[in-house]
Structure 1
Amino acid sequence: MTTATPGRRLRRAAIPLLALTLALGGCGTDPTIDTAPSDIGATSDINPKERDEVAEGGNLRLAIPNFPPTFNSSHIDADGYVSEVVGWTLPGTLNSDAAGNLAVDNNYYTSIELTGTDPQRIVYTINPKAVWSDGSPITWEDLRAQVDALNGRDVAYKVRATQAYSSVGTVERGVDDRQAIVTFAEHYAEWKGLFNPLYPKQVNQTPQAFEDLYRNDMPLSAGPFMITDINRPEQRITLSRNPKWWGETPKLDNVTYSILDASAQLSALQNNELDAVEPLSTVDDIKIALNTPGVQVRRAPANSFTHITFNGAPGSIMADPKLRIAVSKGIDRQAIATAVQNGLVTDPKPLNNHLFLVGQTGYQDNAQSVSFDPAAAGRMLDELGWKLDGEFRKKDGRVLEIRDAIPQNETQVRIATIVQQNLAAIGVKLLIEPNGSNFFTGVIDPGNFDIAQFAWSKSIFPLGALPQIYAYDPANKLSNFGRIGSPELNTLIKEIVAELDPEKALELANKADTIIFESGFSLPIVQSAGAVGARENLANFGAFGLSSADYTKIGFIK
């Protein structure tokens, strides 16, 4: 594999987020705002500068909407904001350019080689300079401990994904402690996603350590930065240069994350209290950013999408897949796409694939089974015994009433309102239930919803979402929050992730995606347009698209 400079950590798994970069309707296309294509993988927009153009020192001021529920990004409680913070602090194997081309991160590994396919074997040679923040070396034992924790064989580890790790047979010492030989028990196509990021063996040694050691802080890290202060009363997380870092000296002295509700972040950027805000959630936000002195808007489609998840667990009103399909056919996703992205992208369209984004190799429209057809939806509801009785439908005296759990933010409220209007037209009553900071841990993970809206921040390895989200094991649901699946789909997913022929894997993945749609699993809405407000003098930071970031080069122009 080729090499590259250190970068914003790639993820092997998808992570749930509260919202995406979306634009509310009603604004129209403003002549001062250039619409952009929504295809992923075309570009990044980060104000690129060479190291000698960036000043030494400085504090980068950013914000996230809530304190991370854990700093262990492999834990089921982790959200996308966890990865945002810990990405500065942890090792990974790879970096990516704007087109999604991958290369080894030589700060951590001198080489990563696929040395055989029968059995599949990868040799990881760790950079001899690489150490944890206490000075201890990064060794093959860290890789082995992570496999042992994340392979799914011990369900006491509360992991959100097991893909790739569940296919590993052994992790052995190589020529010395700085080399790991990973041998797979079964083929795994996206093996490059392993160890992104890598945690120290201490956090993975026992289920209790996995649960508690990184719950409230990060005792060990190994990036160019490390967390040096977690101030809960003042709602702030501070990262500083890691004195044990062996690579290029970072330009910044510090990175400070304020815990700030998304609705207040743009005002903080205007008031020079933040240096960047991601995402800009509406066209009006973009106008405000453009009219703020010293601020510019950087744009590149991001690797994420918003969707509606259905709760198919036994006892849920949505447990019947035919009812889920009927409800899906009553939702006008094109109307939602137009409403939330008008003026932001050139031609707003709904996303019609669970696995691939528009512009990504493998993307095709598999959403025919849930195409908007309110007349057909009404007929299906009649056949299921849900008959119109006044304004809404009833069955056995029960009103067809669905609870829609959403994060408390403007974009998701807007989407829910459109869905509510759509469903009312076919006699389905939708109750919109906004939620606060415990949305994932208090609502989504325990399944306290009928339908739910949130976003998936995707991995650059798209097939990994299949075992993580769409396979289903009642004993270990991972990120299948809707508890929907089948043995047949599980079998197909195993075949896909073990397929080493890329074209065959894509073909099978789209077959699986069609099945996922036909099961009424979830409804993709739109992919992110990727708008970031940033100070004009902020270099090497902004709308990354598929690319990694070089944490050592981020800073302010001289």
Structure 2
Amino acid sequence: MRSVAFLTAGALAVPLLAGCGSDDDAAGHPLAGQDIVPVARDQVASGGTLKWAVDAVPETLNTFQADADAGTTRVAQAVLPSMFRLDATGRPVANPAYLESAEVIETEPRQVVLYKLNQQAVWSDGREIGAADFVAQWRALSGKNSAYWTARNAGYDRIAKIERGANDLQVRVTFSRPYADWRSLFSPLYPKDVMGTPDAFNDGARRKLKVTAGPFGLQKVDTAAKDVVLTRNPRWWGKPAKLNEIVLHAVPRQKRAAALADGSVDLAEIDPSDAERIILATREKGTGTPLQGAGKTSARKLRSWALAHGFDSDEVHVGRKKLRKAITRYLEQQQELRVFDVRKSLEPAYTQLALNGSGGPLADERVRRAVARALNREELAKLVLTPLGLPAVPVGSHLALSGQAAYADGSGALGGQDTKEAQALLADAGWVAGGPVKEEKKGQAAGAESEKGDKEDKSEGGTDGQYIVGEDDKGKHHESAEEKREKGDEGGKHLAQDGRQYSGSDPKRGGAPGAYAPKGTAAPAGAVTGPLAKDGKALALRFVLPSGPGSETLNVVAGRISVMLERIGIRTTITKVSDESYFKDHIAAGDYDLALYSWPSTAFPATDARPIFAKPVPAADGSVTVEQNYTRVGTDQVDQLFDQAAGTLDEDEARDLIRKADSRIWAAAAAIPLYQRPQLVGVRKNLVNAGAFGFQTPVYEDMGFLKKGARISPSPSA
């Protein structure tokens, strides 16, 4: 369920072809390092408040509940023990603040892990962290007591018993079956007060944590102010936190540039358009604005300037006085944004194209493989990442990212972009050009049958063969390629799209460079000149996308994918739905053919990724249990490989099994990884040891503001 929470957010944010085989070089190096301006602790001032933007005030502070989100994780990382945390390459490492050591001391007859705790580690009420806390968390998460409303039990369900070791600082955990991902357990660790009873677990930690044990403690959750306030823990035994306070403040993504400018936050993950604003602010000197010579600038020139600086069309089509006020406010914000930097890396997450294999044309593996072979994944990665100055390398694994030990490019099991091969696969599946097509009811979508009916608003979605450019085009008609051919546009040439041309990387101005070809661009040689049909039905798929703020990049990527699919004769209907219904009513419900959303990478793929790719299982009531496999395509072999990887204590063997599972997932062609998600963070320039963290778990006690007169230069933490 860590993944479920991330998926929803990942779908809306910026939005995460070599042969199959080992790629240890790629596994050893992240594509982009973290960008946090690391400095020695003695260069960081003591005191101050860090205001950090989050999407929402967490509904729960219990990370093991279904409605936990990224804010929940931020709080837990700062105030609770974690036996292991991730390093810059995404590998789990023992956390010395809580552990002296943790190792497997027996394998026969059963696996036994011995934890030796830091003798200084205590809860904020003065009690030592010990075996009683481990026992309470195991019993709550073992899955044996349904009164605990837990979202996940993986790993804890393999524990047979937990005992005190030779002294109070030792905890012996005995497993009923071997468990490779034992390092994933007890991170975070909650006090027995939270885990000891179902009532305390279910309700006691939703809005408060009376007992904590991190560099910070929880002072309050203020829903009215949209704040979670963390304060320095006076009982903390480790390196003292530099900051007095961290305030997690809820700010919608579309308002984050304004929040940075007005001082509401010091650090915020941002979209490319806001990143561009900050970069421009540091370069501009306040000259060349349209407001010089007050009262003389025409409305036309004001609108032209505003559009060139990323204003929405709705913002510019107002009276001259209102527009002048909006521009004045924008320029004032630009002045304030000059004290911020954009720190960037790649998130430990990737964006994928999901193909719903539960019914319709995509139930046929040949059609899914044809869709996959039509995609130029390198082009899609460049579309998103190159304008941001980030490495544009397609993701080659469903189960790890470059830099992690399990990473290897398994895409060779499916094959790279090949138009002819894609067309051959479709022909083999019975989809031929020029076949008769039965007339469908107006507005009826082709493709996989909807489990809930086609109830969403299609006002932004168009009809088969149309492409949605962006929010600026609401209400406008976009001709399909078929309509263009019928009208004889450009001498009858097959146009790649509807003729819009944009430049720049600002999604408000149309997305990344090359998102759409110039009007009149002919499709590449070999493009199918007519829709494919089978049994009287055209080959058309519903491409469902979110419509809210932050979805511009997904819309641009979807438009490019639609062009690629049309080249092999597959037509798409892009349907936009509200952010609130996108995941619940469409992805989870299976009401889509094609969709874009993100999954996080994990240090423990055998455990965390298994439910994402598990074979759907029929239930007694006739429904199908899909776990988190929203493509609804799985195999017994993949399940077995995951089980084997989770059950071996040989790390090399586990890695090889994960790579084999990934190859099988590629071959099924239901989830196609595209690119690692960009991580763009607006940060006050004097804030150090914070920013775009990449794989690494943030070190909260080292964050702070640079001392006056100190120089910023990379240095190991002291």
Aligned pairs for 1:271-310 (under 5 A) are 271-281=262-272, 284=276, 287-288=279-280, 290-291=282-283, 292-310=337-355
Give the distance between the partners of 2:46 and 2:353, measured in 1 at CA. 45
TM-score, length basis structure 1: 0.83
Question: What letter matches 2:385 in structure 1?
Answer: Q
TM-aligned CA deviation for residue 491 of structure 1: 1.3
Aligned to 1:510: 659
Contact 2:279-2:342 within 8 A present in 1 as well? no
Specify which of 165, 171, 183 is matched with residue 174 of structure 1: 165
Specify which of 63, 73, 77 is matched with residue 53 of structure 2: 63
TM-aligned CA deviation for residue 437 of structure 1: 4.7
Quick check: 538-547 or 296-305, which moved more?
Answer: 296-305
Specify which of 607, 610, 613 is matched with residue 470 of structure 1: 613
Question: What letter matches 1:332 in structure 2?
Answer: N
TM-aligned CA deviation for residue 516 of structure 1: 0.7
* Corresponding pairs, count: 534
Aligned to 1:412: 554
Aligned to 1:49: 39
Aligned to 2:699: 550
Give the distance between the partners of 1:71 and 1:443, measured in 2 at CA. 27
Q: Which runs of 5+ in 1 are unaligned?
A: 1-10, 25-37
Over residues 373-418 of structure 1, what are the superposed CA-to-partner deviations in whole Å (9 max), with x where a residue is unaligned? 3443344344444555477555556553324244732222222222
Structure (1/2) with the larger helix percentage: 2
TM-aligned CA deviation for residue 128 of structure 1: 4.3
Over residues 462-488 of structure 1, what are the superposed CA-to-partner deviations in whole Å (9 max), with x where a residue is unaligned? 444442422346477553333432222
Aligned to 2:416: 371
Give the distance between the partners of 2:184 and 2:271, measured in 1 at CA. 29
Aligned to 2:69: 79
Contact 1:41-1:98 within 8 A present in 2 as well? no
Contact 2:541-2:570 within 8 A present in 1 as well? no
Contact 2:53-2:249 within 8 A present in 1 as well? yes
Aligned to 1:231: 222
Over residues 118-141 of structure 1, what are the superposed CA-to-partner deviations in whole Å (9 max), with x where a residue is unaligned? 222111233344344455543323
Question: What letter matches 1:458 in structure 2?
Answer: S
Aligned pairs for 1:424-439 (under 5 A) are 424-425=566-567, 426-437=569-580, 439=582
TM-aligned CA deviation for residue 204 of structure 1: 4.1
Give the distance between the partners of 1:181 and 1:155, measured in 2 at CA. 25
Give the distance between the partners of 2:593 and 2:145, measured in 1 at CA. 30
Aligned to 2:367: 323
Question: What letter matches 1:414 in structure 2?
Answer: V
Aligned to 2:177: 186
Quick check: 207-216 or 409-418, which moved more?
Answer: 207-216
Contact 1:41-1:546 within 8 A present in 2 as well? no
Q: Which has the higher contact order (CA 8 A, sep 6+)?
A: 1
TM-aligned CA deviation for residue 351 of structure 1: 0.9
- Name the SS for the 2:394 alignment partner: coil
Quick check: 59-68 or 284-293, which moved more?
Answer: 284-293
Cα distance change, pair 393–78 in 1 and its aligned pair in 2 (3 A): farther
Give the distance between the partners of 1:254 and 1:442, measured in 2 at CA. 39
Question: What letter matches 1:429 in structure 2?
Answer: T
Question: What letter matches 1:342 in structure 2?
Answer: T
TM-aligned CA deviation for residue 495 of structure 1: 1.1
Over residues 190-237 of structure 1, what are the superposed CA-to-partner deviations in whole Å (9 max), with x where a residue is unaligned? 322221212234544566655444445545433222333333333332
Structure (1/2) with the larger strand percentage: 1
Quick check: 134-143 or 45-54, which moved more?
Answer: 134-143
Give the distance between the partners of 1:165 and 1:429, measured in 2 at CA. 44
Contact 1:297-1:534 within 8 A present in 2 as well? yes
Contact 2:688-2:705 within 8 A present in 1 as well? yes
Aligned to 2:326: none
TM-aligned CA deviation for residue 510 of structure 1: 1.4
Aligned to 1:200: 191
Cα distance change, pair 433–205 in 1 and its aligned pair in 2 (3 A): farther
Question: What letter matches 1:518 in structure 2?
Answer: A
Cα distance change, pair 68–402 in 1 and its aligned pair in 2 (3 A): farther
Specify which of 247, 255, 259 is matched with residue 256 of structure 1: 247
Give the distance between the partners of 1:208 and 1:234, measured in 2 at CA. 28
TM-aligned CA deviation for residue 259 of structure 1: 1.7
Cα distance change, pair 281–191 in 1 and its aligned pair in 2 (3 A): farther
Question: What letter matches 1:298 in structure 2?
Answer: R
Check if 1:147 corresponds to 2:101.
Answer: no
Cα distance change, pair 289–110 in 1 and its aligned pair in 2 (3 A): farther
Give the distance between the partners of 1:255 and 1:443, measured in 2 at CA. 36
Check if 1:422 corresponds to 2:412.
Answer: no
Aligned pairs for 1:103-182 (under 5 A) are 103-118=93-108, 119-152=110-143, 159-176=150-167, 178-182=169-173
TM-score, length basis structure 2: 0.66
- Tell me the C-alpha RMSD between the 2 structures: 3.5
Aligned to 1:493: 642
Check if 1:351 corresponds to 2:395.
Answer: yes
Contact 1:110-1:125 within 8 A present in 2 as well? yes
Cα distance change, pair 298–373 in 1 and its aligned pair in 2 (3 A): same
Quick check: 51-60 or 373-382, which moved more?
Answer: 373-382
- Name the SS for the 1:186 alignment partner: coil
Question: What letter matches 2:84 in structure 1?
Answer: L
Contact 1:22-1:529 within 8 A present in 2 as well? no
Aligned to 2:669: 520
Give the distance between the partners of 1:77 and 1:312, measured in 2 at CA. 27
TM-aligned CA deviation for residue 509 of structure 1: 1.6
Cα distance change, pair 392–551 in 1 and its aligned pair in 2 (3 A): same
Quick check: 386-395 or 252-261, which moved more?
Answer: 386-395
TM-aligned CA deviation for residue 427 of structure 1: 2.3
- Name the SS for the 2:272 alignment partner: coil
Specify which of 585, 598, 613 is matched with residue 455 of structure 1: 598
Contact 2:51-2:266 within 8 A present in 1 as well? yes
Contact 2:605-2:658 within 8 A present in 1 as well? no
Give the distance between the partners of 1:270 and 1:555, measured in 2 at CA. 19
Give the distance between the partners of 1:318 and 1:153, measured in 2 at CA. 38
Question: What letter matches 1:278 in structure 2?
Answer: E
Over residues 255-304 of structure 1, what are the superposed CA-to-partner deviations in whole Å (9 max), with x where a residue is unaligned? 12222222221332234332122255367356347544222233344322
Give the distance between the partners of 2:626 and 2:199, measured in 1 at CA. 20
Contact 2:90-2:403 within 8 A present in 1 as well? no
Contact 1:170-1:183 within 8 A present in 2 as well? yes
Q: Which has the larger radius of gyration?
A: 2
Question: What letter matches 1:539 in structure 2?
Answer: V
TM-aligned CA deviation for residue 513 of structure 1: 0.4
Give the distance between the partners of 2:589 and 2:208, measured in 1 at CA. 25
Check if 1:401 corresponds to 2:446.
Answer: no
Contact 2:541-2:594 within 8 A present in 1 as well? no
Specify which of 222, 239, 254 is matched with residue 213 of structure 2: 222
Cα distance change, pair 381–525 in 1 and its aligned pair in 2 (3 A): same
Give the distance between the partners of 1:23 and 1:245, measured in 2 at CA. 37
Aligned to 1:94: 84
Check if 1:480 corresponds to 2:620.
Answer: no
Cα distance change, pair 478–215 in 1 and its aligned pair in 2 (3 A): farther
Question: What letter matches 2:558 in structure 1?
Answer: A
Give the distance between the partners of 2:594 and 2:63, measured in 1 at CA. 25
Contact 1:337-1:350 within 8 A present in 2 as well? yes
- Name the SS for the 2:700 alignment partner: coil
Check if 1:535 corresponds to 2:684.
Answer: yes
- Name the SS for the 1:343 alignment partner: helix
Cα distance change, pair 418–557 in 1 and its aligned pair in 2 (3 A): same
Question: What letter matches 2:665 in structure 1?
Answer: I
Cα distance change, pair 359–549 in 1 and its aligned pair in 2 (3 A): closer
Cα distance change, pair 551–420 in 1 and its aligned pair in 2 (3 A): same
Check if 1:242 corresponds to 2:233.
Answer: yes
Q: Which runs of 5+ in 2 are unaligned?
A: 16-27, 284-336, 438-481, 483-529, 620-624, 708-718
Cα distance change, pair 472–241 in 1 and its aligned pair in 2 (3 A): farther
Cα distance change, pair 92–300 in 1 and its aligned pair in 2 (3 A): same
